[in-house]
Amino acid sequence: MKNVQDGVSVIGLGAMGLALARALLKDGHRVTVWNRTSEKATPLVKEGANIAPSVAAAVEASPIVLACVERYEVTRAILGTEEIAHLLSGRVLVELSTGTPQDARDAEVWARERSLDYLDGAIMASPSQIARPDTTIFVSGAESAFQRSEAVLKTLAGNLTYMGESVGLASTWDLATLSCLFGAMLGFFHGARIFESEGLRVSDFGSMIAAISPALGEMMKHTGDVIQTESYKEVESSVKTCTVGFELFAKQAREAGINADFPMFGLGLFRKAMTAGYGEEEVAAVIKVLRKNTIS
């Protein structure tokens, strides 16, 4: 059993909150849980968790509080009552809800006003992947908060990564990574429809993508290097070549009678890059089109 000083309270028991609590219990931490719907906490009692009768009781039970709810605003609504205000001072709040870098900065200000040691976190995993050696959680914020909560968070993610004291860093890395993931997922969904239109097994497609993922990751790394150095003239795959690829996606969709939203969206961006004169440059030059579409 861990030292009682390792006690941690988990606020929010959705699928991810439950996974966090179970991982902490399995590792021997003293865990207190609270959820608006208390029935969700009941199965954890058999695993050794303490169910707090109120949010105040959950906060008071542990020096470290993990918040895993829908949004940052929900965390502040839960912990922002007068009943709880005097209990927060001196504790560590680790925000594991999803938000933007500005959400993180606002939360840090809110926490400092209450003498809370604040750490912002981003879980780069599904609930079933929690507590694996390769599971990643990005964290940023006060180094003192990281030092106090590191052992707890290391239980949840073997690849726990402290990004630094600038509190928006974890959310920045989170959103950028999720943008890549969700973009890839949209492409995968369209690829699945291509497979289905030809009577092939989508599970075979998924297995193939998993097998070649190191090569795909290498391509992403190369693209990042090209953008960072602005070396678009060193061409491996040009904007023109990739535009032809999207034209083929759209053509196949018409021929097979499947949804063409994804290829037409991509084709629109690539055609803008062609019109701008980037056709003979490395495909990464498409980012120059996106840079011209910033929101004021």
Sequence-distant (≥ 6) Cβ neighbours of residue 147 within 8 angstroms: none
Instruction: Give the model's pLDDT for residue 85.
Output: 85
Q: Domain 4-171, what fold?
A: Rossmann fold (3.40.50)
- DSSP letter at 68 equals -
- Strand ordering across the sheet containing 64-67: 50-51, 31-34, 8-11, 64-67, 92-95, 117-124, 136-141, 159-162
Domain with CATH 1.10.1040.10 in the chain: 201-291
Residues 151/6, Cβ–Cβ less than 8 Å: yes
Residues 35/58, Cβ–Cβ less than 8 Å: no
Residues recorded for the chain: 296
- The model's pTM: 0.88
Residue 170 CB neighbours (<10 A): 29
Sequence-distant (≥ 6) Cβ neighbours of residue 273 within 8 angstroms: 239, 243, 279, 285, 286, 288, 289
Specify which residues 136 forms β-bridges with. Answer: 124, 159
Domain with CATH 3.40.50.720 in the chain: 4-171
Cα–Cα distance, 74 to 133 (Å, whole number): 30
What backbone torsions phi and psi does residue 138 show, to the nearest 5 degrees? Answer: -85, 135
Highest CATH level, class, for 201-291: mainly alpha
pLDDT, tens digit only, all 296 positions of the chain: 444 356 999 999 999 999 999 999 999 999 999 998 888 888 898 899 999 999 999 999 999 999 999 999 999 999 998 889 889 999 999 999 989 999 999 999 999 999 999 999 999 999 999 999 999 999 999 999 999 999 999 999 999 999 999 999 999 999 999 999 999 999 999 999 999 999 999 999 999 999 999 999 999 999 999 999 999 999 999 999 999 999 999 999 999 999 999 999 999 999 999 999 999 999 999 999 999 865 54
Instruction: Give the model's pLDDT for residue 202.
Output: 98
